[in-house]
């Protein structure tokens, strides 16, 4: 293996090793501008992506005890990494798939488990971290709001009773 390919193999191994998950996608008829646009959206979502050669990826994955055959890797292959927010990256990749109609999700690796394309799609449908935080805050806030509304109603009813009593006495 040439020094250039060895360096590329080490870089792919490092990306696989450092990230908390990755998604593999193949593409056809995408220009450089479309790929750059997808990359910028993935970076905004907290991820990254790059185009990788099939054989280099298959070798790097095998070295990390993840098996991908060359038959599974069809077309030009994109490797999208999660960087701590895998569901948001998956969501952006599926959004790009719908917009461009040139992507095909080949699978992924999440929480030390190889995922089928359908599993990656299910993960992409999960709420983002910010959405989950908002839901938890809503769950905590709702009972407190209801308690406050009940106390306010009780206090205002006592005030109305006292006001009505004063009006009757006059």
Residues 8 and 73 in one domain: yes
Residues 155 and 75 in one domain: no
| Closest to 46 measured CA to CA, from 79, 14, 91, 86 | 86
Each residue's pLDDT, cut to its tens digit, for the chain (170 residues) gives 688 888 888 888 888 765 678 899 988 888 888 888 888 988 888 888 888 888 888 888 888 888 888 878 888 888 888 777 788 888 989 988 888 888 889 988 888 888 888 998 888 888 877 888 888 888 888 777 777 778 887 777 777 777 887 788 76
Residues 71 and 143 in one domain: no
Residues 75 and 51 in one domain: yes
Residues 68 and 145 in one domain: no
Cα dist from 94 to 1, 33, 34, 39, whole Å: 35, 18, 14, 13
User: Which domain does 12 fall in, by range?
Assistant: 3-126
Residues 79 and 18 in one domain: yes
């Amino acid at each position: 293996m040439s020094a250039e390919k060895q360096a590329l193999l080490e870089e792919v191994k490092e990306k696989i090793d450092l990230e908390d998950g990755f998604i593999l996608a193949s593409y056809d008829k995408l220009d450089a501008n479309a790929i750059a646009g997808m990359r910028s959206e993935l970076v905004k979502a907290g991820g990254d992506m790059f185009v990788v050669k099939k054989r280099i990826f298959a070798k790097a994955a095998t070295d990390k005890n993840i098996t991908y055959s060359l038959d599974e890797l069809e077309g030009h292959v994109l490797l999208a990494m999660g960087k701590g927010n895998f569901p948001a990256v998956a969501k952006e990749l599926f959004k790009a798939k719908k917009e461009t109609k040139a992507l095909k999700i080949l699978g992924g690796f999440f929480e030390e488990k190889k995922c089928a394309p359908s599993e990656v799609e299910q993960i992409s449908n999960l709420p983002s971290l910010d959405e989950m935080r908002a839901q938890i805050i809503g769950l905590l806030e709702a009972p407190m709001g209801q308690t406050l509304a009940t106390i306010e109603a009780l206090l205002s009813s006592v005030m109305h009773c006292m006001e009505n009593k004063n009006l009757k006495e006059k």
